[in-house]
Structure 1
Amino acid sequence: MQSYINPPKSDWSDLLQRPRVDVSDLYEKTEAILAEIQQEGDAAVRRYSERFDGYRGAELEVTQAEITQAETALPEDLKAAIRRAADNIEKFHASQWQPMQKVETQTGVTCWQKSVPIEKVGLYIPGGTAPLFSTVLMLGIPARIAGCKEIVLCTPPDEQGGIHPAILFAARLAGVQRIFRIGGIQAIGAMAYGTETVPKMYKIFGPGNRFVTAAKQLVGLKNTAIDMPAGPSEVLVMADDSANPAFVAADLLSQAEHGADSQVILLSTSDEVLQATLAEVDKQVKQLPRQAGAEGALSDSRAFLLTSLDEMMEMSNFYAPEHLILSVRNASEVAEKVVNAGSVFIGHYTPESAGDYASGTNHTLPTHGHARSYSGVNLDSYIRKITFQEITPEGLQELGPIIEIMAEAELLQAHKNAVSLRLKSLQ
């Protein structure tokens, strides 16, 4: 990690740059593949599944027998852990329901809104180097709680068409109805456009590599909604002299091990803690099975020695991290000052890993500074709010003249007439 001591605020923007990725031809290539999937359906999906995943089979949908077999194959302790995590995720997301309230804005004028689930949602679960069955829970359980009628999942297969049994087990537990062994751009295209096998979805959720992200952004322009722009994972840790350097190093590495395009940021007011943490990072990274990816991320990561807690918070809010860990004294009070972050972890004994797996909060979060304007996935992500209003004759007699004045001022005569005709009928 690169270290900096009290850099001036004028340098923060440059020092906190996320890793740069060459996207010069990314969208052009992605759009070309999406166009083929839209035109050719399953044939194009199979062609690109063979090209990118090495899967040459004809069967795109996972059978119920395969899902049952996966459940049998999983160790009991893992199934128990997944069930406990699912219970916590369900409890937290179910609490997010907001009761419908009718509001009489003035006499005879009543307004309210109703929460309606998005009918068809598609979930994308990356394959690659790690079976992210936890993401299945994070995306599937809120969809089920919201009442989405159709929940489908796409995930890349291996060359034999196999999918990690934990993904299949978690999908059944979460309430996913159909699972397809399709990955990458072809999965996003299939869910956005619909094919002979894969139904068209109204909204697509889930993280992925830069090609998946580009595909989501492109289909989101005109075909289907998406959850958020989501890129490589990131964490920022604020640590004062009360922090445990070994804990902090482990938190930094928990995100660095996602891959070389991830980024981790350390802020500290203690040079002793900062140096001890960097030493711990060097020590712990050598013990990781995913050492190469973690070291790649560390090469583009930063450590800052700052003058005060307030300056650490100012830099954190400027960076807008996906994950923010507060390893400081009075962490709960400090948390009140957070403005920009995807998810916040308070205190020395709240590792980011808890949110990734089992505490109950959602780990599908905005990255690359999008925490300034996006929320992480939550129950509302699967819901539309439809507004209603009802006006009595007495209410229109009082409100109508206000509407007439405003419509006439905007030169919208038909708008005024819609009120005027009703008012005349009441005379």
Structure 2
Amino acid sequence: MTPLADKIRPTTLDEIVGQPHLLAPGKPLRRILERGQVTNMIFYGPSGVGKTTLARIIASNSNMTLYKLNGTSASVGDIKEIIAQTGTLAGCNGILLYLDEIQYLNKKQQQSLLEYIENGSLTLIASTTENPYFAVFNAIISRSTVFEFKPVTAKELEPAVERAFRLMGQELGADCQPEDGVVSYIASGCGGDVRKAVNTVELSVLASETRDGVMPVTLETVQQLTQRSNMRYDRDGDQHYDLLSALQKSIRGSDENAALHYTARLLEVGDLLSLVRRILVIAAEDVGLAYPQAMPIVKACVDAALQLGLPEARIPIAEAVILLATAPKSNSAYLAIDAAAADLQRGTTCEIPRQLQNKHFDGADAKVRGQHYLYPHDYPNHWVKQQYLPDELKDRVYYQFGQNKQEQAARAYKELIQKK
């Protein structure tokens, strides 16, 4: 049985759902396609947003011989078999290779295409759900144009969901009547994935009862079928790092509600380890010396969460996230250690001052004999002026006191003991 998602697949550019930044009238990709110019392209974006559909439309409107491969199953032999058609009667108008999931091809497999892409005997349209600048061989990218596809908005999806209900009703010979709220629920709950939305429609209809030629589809039925199935997440992909990035930036921006949203999404997919590691980093990097107590508190929350496990772990994690989001912020320590490291990366590795070295005898050629270390505890306020940085860096300042109560108090204390 052909899935509904394939039956409803668009056949023209105007039928494609979403991607107005690429396919709206006047947009560059739309103009290229309307002129019949098929060039090497890489379509990048999440699943179910129209990459394969657009590639099929391009192929059907070209005069080239179309071949299709999937990176999950294609071999070097498959690629060579297609390449062998270049220069033959079958490839006289050019060969268009649609390569889905190119990220699964290894470097050697991707390299085997280069010569033919270069001389124009083969035109490549590839799609990938992973960032092509990490997943695709650089030489392929340099010979192609990358177009990024975005998740489809709920508003853009609703007409496709309604059309899917109508088509299912026609196939089953019944009047499909989704209850109020069903269409919007499916459209907003599929994570921007058109295929997932259409598949949800198909399942909802098949799970509904027909009465006197009418098939009501209830919201309760849809909710039962979609429970925990609409979360878009790949632990090794862009979505994983995007969620962690959004969490950290929300906490850094002191938005506790956004931080809780991204925390809930990570907990919902069970990614507790990535979450606890990131909030420990945030405590040090973004809250830092403005509230040093944040680190031991967050560490205690993390330890409790790991001991409890999910679902109870969500409670101490939420406490840690709220604490970090509402705490004063300072990145002074982060900037200071990076500034010190920058000197080392420039090759500035200097001799440790003699007074700081471990006690040992001076060589016969030493200009100054003896360590001459001044023990700070022997002086008032436990401080004495003394050079600690190497000679070449003696005036270097890495740490700047942050403009917050904690660090300004430390600054005032330092100034006080040095003045006395």
In which range does the TM-score fall when normalised by the shorter chain?
A: under 0.3
Q: TM-score, normalised by structure 2?
A: 0.26
**Which of the pair has more CA radius of gyration?**
2
Q: TM-score, normalised by structure 1?
A: 0.25
Higher share in helix: 2
Higher share in strand: 1
